Amino acid sequence: MTLRSLLATALTTALAGTLLVLLPSPAAHAGATYTGVLDAAWGRADLRINRVGWGLTVTGTMKDKRADGDCIYVEAVLAVDDYSDPDDRTPNFCGGKGKSTSITSISLRPGGGSRLASVRIRVCAADAGKDSCLEKTFSIPPETARRSDLKSKVDAYRTMSMKKFLQAKKNKPAPFNWSDNGCTNSPDKPGGFNFLPACKRHDFGYANYGHGSVKAAPTDAVRKLVDDRFLADMRRVCNKYSGESYTKCQGYATAYHQAVRKAGGKAFYANG
């Protein structure tokens, strides 16, 4: 766990004679993929927006609807937390009226952050400014659990006493991922306070709820539960102290917790 490095449904809108439709895809895993249609006077894009772990892909087709030889393109901008990063776009397509091409080049994977908030997709005429593009912002498809039947067991490991958790970790019962890298780039014992067991349990939560072969509950709400348990485990360490030592320990615990809350999305979801 790198603490330092971590420091819709259905939408239909008519716009000046231009139609945009976003619907859940019936062929996809529940909630994992959206389909979208952006239909403007100069071009049309039929899209599939797919959540892939800590990222998003956009595929589909775009059609040139004009006969003047000018080009069109599709662009997507991913909002992470309250900022937009990253963005990507297709090459210009200049096929001529009625001609279509596949969209295969849009892949959005942010370097950090806490949650994927929304994605803005636009279809544009290359010879006009971006203020002339047809665009729509909509929510991110949620991740799909791989082994939701194991969530209750992961819950039990998250909430049991630390002593019981560490004993279970020694036994490494299948099919869970018991590997950890401690507190990684941050001290395991900042100021002499032993946060290593808390870091080990936090790694277990991320590796079994959010990604990997189990991926029991890959949601922002569950990630918060894992992070909050991390804080509780560290505070139990602090409760062994008093006075200035207690205050200092609580300060370290708060800083570690804030780091994973602000930038832990990539580590939790990984590559799906």
**Number of residues assigned to the chain:** 272
- Sequence-distant (≥ 6) Cβ neighbours of residue 151 within 8 angstroms: 145, 209, 216, 217
Ramachandran angles phi, psi of 221, nearest 5°: -65, -40
Q: Which two tokens stand for residue 233?
A: 């485990």
Nearest to 55 by CA among 12, 95, 20, 106: 106
- Whether 137 and 119 have beta carbons less than 8 Å apart is answered as yes
- Whether 29 and 210 have beta carbons less than 8 Å apart is answered as no
Q: 29, 202, 211, 257: which one is catalytic?
A: 202
Place of tokens 């709820």: 209
SS3 80: strand
Q: What does the DSSP assignment read for 168-231? A: HHHH--TTS-----TTTTS-SSGGG---HHHHHHHHHHIIIIISTTT-----HHHHHHHHHHHH
Place of tokens 């991740």: 143
Beta bridge partners of 134: 123
Can 202 be counted among the known catalytic residues?
A: yes
Residues acting as catalytic residues:
202
